[in-house]
A and B are shown apart, each in its own frame.
Chain A
Amino acid sequence: MVVNEELAEHSDLDLVKLTLENQENFLYLVQRYEKKLLRFIRRISGLNSDDAQDLLQEVFIKVYQNLNDFDQNLKFSSWLYRITHNQVVSNYRKNKSRPQLSLFDLDLESCESLISDFDASQNMDQKILRDKMSRALDGLDLKYKEVLVLKYLEDRSYEEISDIIKKPTSTVGTLLSRAKKNLEKEFRQ
Chain B
Amino acid sequence: MENTGQEILDIIKEQNIQPKKRWEFLFKNYLLWLAFSLAIILGGLAASATIFIFQHATWVEMAPGFSPLKRLWVNLPLFWLLSLSLFSFLAWYDFKNTKRGYKYHPFIIVVCSVILSIALGVAMYSLGLGQKLEDTFFRRVPFYQQMFRQGGRMLVEPDNGHLAGIITHIGPEAITVEDFRGRSWTISTSTDEFQTGQRVMLIGRMSDDDKFICESIKPWVKRPGPPPPPMFFRP
On A, residues with C-beta under 8 Å from B are: 1, 20, 23-24, 26-27, 30-31, 34-35, 38, 53, 56-57, 60-61, 64-69, 71, 73, 162, 166-171
Contact in complex: A61, B4 (CB < 8 Å):
no
On B, residues with C-beta under 8 Å from A are: 1, 4-9, 11-13, 17-22, 24-25, 99-100, 102-105
Q: Which B residue sits closest to A168, measured CB to CB?
A: B105
- Please name the 3 residue pairs, one residue from A and one from B, whose CB atoms are nearest each other, closest first: A30-B5, A166-B102, A68-B22
Known: A20-B19, A64-B12, A168-B102. A69 touches B25 (CB 8 A): yes
Known: A57-B7, A65-B20. A23 touches B13 (CB 8 A): yes
Contact in complex: A60, B17 (CB < 8 Å):
no
Contacts of A68 in B (CB 8 A): 19-22, 24-25
- Counting chain B CB atoms within 10 Å of each CB, which of A31, A61, A69 scores highest? A69
Q: Which B residue sits closest to A166, measured CB to CB?
A: B102
Contacts of A162 in B (CB 8 A): 102-103
- Counting chain B CB atoms within 10 Å of each CB, which of A56, A68, A162, A170 scores highest? A68
Query: Whole-angstrom distance between the alpha carbons of A23 and B6 in the complex?
Result: 11
Contacting residue for B9 out of A24, A53, A71, CB 8 A: A24
Contact in complex: B19, A168 (CB < 8 Å):
no
Using A64-B19, A67-B19, A69-B20 as known contacts, list a sample of 8 further A-B pairs with CB atoms less than 8 Å apart, ordered by residue number in A: A34-B4, A34-B5, A38-B1, A57-B8, A65-B19, A65-B20, A162-B102, A168-B104
Contacts of B9 in A (CB 8 A): 1, 23-24, 26-27, 30
Contacting residue for B5 out of A31, A170, A171, CB 8 A: A31
Contacts of B20 in A (CB 8 A): 65-66, 68-69
Q: Which A residue sits closest to B15, measured CB to CB?
A: A61
